[in-house]
Amino acid sequence: MNKLQQPKKPLNKFIRLTGVGLQMGITMYVAAYIGKKLDTNYGFEKKYFTLSLVILGFLASLWSLLAQLKKINEEDK
């Protein structure tokens, strides 16, 4: 069998999840940055947009992580 016909091995679980921390960090940073800009633009004393968007970014990151874990778990069955 030549190299083109060999089936590809699935990536190791650990390797597939190495980017999760970076993905979560970037999501939280972007949410905080946008929230800060909105709070400054609308002149709020308290950081309503920043807090709301950071929580939303965290929940989105968590949902993405759980979806990736579910996919990996289903592939192992």
Range of the domain at 36: 18-76
| pTM, rounded to two decimals | 0.77
Q: Is residue 25 part of a domain?
A: yes
Place 8 in a pLDDT band, splitting at 50, 70 and 90.
Answer: low
Q: Quick check: 61 and 27 in contact, CB under 8 A?
A: yes
Cβ neighbours of residue 51 under 8 Å, at least 6 residues apart? Answer: 35
CA nearest to 24, candidates 66, 52, 74, 72? 66
10 belongs to a structural domain: no
pLDDT, residue 3, reads: 59
- Domain count across the chain: 1
